Amino acid sequence: MEITDLLVKNAMIMDMQATDKLGAIDEMVDKLYETGRITDKVLFKEGILNREAQTSTGLGDGVAMPHAKNEAVKEATILFAKSNKGVDYEALDGQPVYLFFMIAAPAGANDTHLAALASLSKYLMQDGFIAKVRETKTPDDVIALFSSEEKEENKEEAKIESTVKDTGKFVVAVTACTTGIAHTYMAEEALKKKAAEMGVGIKVETNGASGVGNKLTAEDIAKADGVIVAADKAVEMDRFDGKHLISRPVKDGIREPENLITMATDDSLPIYHGSGDASGAGASDEKLSLGKAFYKHLMSGVSAMLPFTIGGGIAIAIAFLIDNAMGVPTDQLANLGSYNELASMFKNIGGAAFGFMLPVLAGYIAYSIAEKPGLVAGFVAGAMASNGLALGKVPFAKGGDATLNLAGVPSGFLGALVGGFLAGGVIILLKKILVGLPRSLDGLKSILLYPVFGVIITGFLMLLVNIPMSGINEGLNNFLSSLSGSSAILMGALVGGMMAVDMGGPVNKAAYVFGTGTLAATVTSGGSEVMAAVMAGGMVPPLAVFVATLLFKDKFTKEERESGLTNIVMGLSFITEGAIPFGAADPTRAIPSFVAGSALAGALVGLSGIKLMAPHGGIFVIALTSNPFLYLLYVAIGAVVGGILFGFLRKAK
């Protein structure tokens, strides 16, 4: 399949009217919907915005490549759009964007589709190609240009190959981005092109959405003078043991290929030493601050844990709903949630999912720190935090005999969090201690030494750690249980407001993680007030956008007003990220307004003591709150206040 098979004439916009990012996205999404390429504008746009929230797809040089892969796409399509005025798209180089290639990939896109999409990324890296695209006037001109480029592709590959054969230096590279559609292949093309100019031979392996392409062989790596890893996600690393290696984010592969190739061929570049584990992280080796490193590892554990929390929590909540609907005798209220047989089934299923929550949290924190060897030690630490295995007391008798008692002291979410970092640290220490072993024992390290010593050392440390962590965990739970009046209002306002500060960023995630942590201890007893405030705060910003665009129409463009309508669905679904384009376009006015509305909603939830038994879902789990009517009312109040503030502060267009 070629690029021209994905470019559709009637799905092109040759004179885009939008002048800002949100308007441009809406205009392109509308065009895809009008031409029958997508079935659901809201779902597809959600995918586009989620990708933009990670980093702008405005790649620089006047080009943007927004992309999404989800169930809303009927047929793989590349929508081409050209703006004659230029669009403020928050591009990486800070310049206006004139050319857009919106990639719509079906959820089950096959390799041929993805290969064609990768080719588009390569064309955009070729000298003079962007200028040629800007000169096109009609859809036929666009199709003709790409048809011509496709014919020239084989000639260009042959030119690169001839350069490789004449070079004295040779490097290998791996490129990988989080989505695996665009940046992976743009970095590949940039590195190959620059290597040809520099007279350096290169082979580039791509870790894209369709899998590993052009995989490096042992022979390739052996003859390489250096290795470049331009990746934002995990790639196989231990195969590069003993080679000069430079690791950077994938964006550096696109923007700084010459610098990477120069460093890779420099004999003074540090030599990489593997861990005996074939699944090394492979992410950038740029030094992270302590805070950023903590956040990165914590989010790795939380993202792996959340499916268990959500699935298990909602299953348990359904058990309570069933018992409430079927009825429970007054003298059996202590068994609410498990009295009727059907309810008991749901509760047992949810409990099984919840049982994995803390081990998975600790396991994947340790994995993020120490790669695959950290998993087993982390899982054990999480299980011990959940089970409460800890040292009791060691009384010594006069005769010299000693007894050792083990006491059950569950330390919950906090204990698992500490255990995950502890397990990762233990494995890192073991790697340093065992680095002097002969290379013939590398296989033994990963299969025997790391698991055995990691589990034992981490386990004994957790016997001690569980004692203070259980006290902190119990004190926190008691404090939250005792919240009422002004303290509950303050807590609700704090976590609610945090949800709107960066709408999906670190502050938002911190509040959400705290909420899910409290839910774990309260879901079997009616739910968590903190979780209820968190979700209310997260629902407000998109709904506030709708209110503002409805009441202050003269201050928003037509495209922004239309986008305000889609924010109703996002807000009701607890997708805070729907408000990001408005917050990013006008942060000094939008964000304080959103924070005020979210904090108010959270405070009202805290004041009324409303509890929530589910960690996600928005309006779809409203029945799992202790007072659905009041909850929706408080969310609406927060949205109206936030929307009026935003509209009042906003400057007229």
User: Could you give the CA distance from residue 333 to residue 585 in angstroms, rounded to a whole number?
Assistant: 52
The one catalytic residue among 67, 113, 297, 616: 67
Per DSSP, 439 falls in state G
Task: Give the three-class secondary structure for 19.
Answer: coil
| 97-106 vs 63-64, strand pairing mode | parallel
Q: Residue 106: enclosing H or E segment and its boundaries?
A: strand 97-106
Burial class (CB in 10 A: 0-12, 13-18, 19+), 282: buried
Show the DSSP H helices in 439-505 as ranges.
442-444, 450-481, 485-501
Beta bridge partners of 106: 70
Q: Is 273 marked active-site?
A: no
End-to-end CA distance of the chain: 44
CA-based max dimension of the chain: 97
Contact 117, 103 (CB under 8 A): yes
177 is catalytic: yes
The catalytic position among 113, 177, 244, 297 is 177
Single-letter amino acid code for the residue at 399: G
* DSSP reduced 3-state for 346: helix
The DSSP code sequence of 292-328 is HHHHHHHHHHHHHHHHHHHHHHHHHHHHHHHHHHH--
Pick from 18, 136, 28: which is nearest to 81 by CA?
28
Phi, psi of 66 (to 5 degrees): -65, 145
Residue 566 to residue 26: CA distance in whole angstroms? 10
Q: Is 458 within 8 Å of 426 (Cβ atoms)? A: yes
Query: Where do the H-state alpha helices sit in 179-238?
Result: 183-198, 218-223
Alpha helices in 82-135 (DSSP H): 111-124, 129-134
Closest CA to 567 of 584, 586, 551, 580: 580
- Cα–Cα–Cα angle for 499, 502, 503, nearest 5°? 55
Question: Residues 85, 88, 91, 94: is their CA dihedral positive or negative?
Answer: positive
Secondary structure (DSSP) of 370-408: H-THHHHHHHHHHHHHHHTEEE---PBPTTS-B---EEE
Give the count of alpha carbons within 13 A of 238, CB side only.
Answer: 14
Residues noted as catalytic:
67, 177
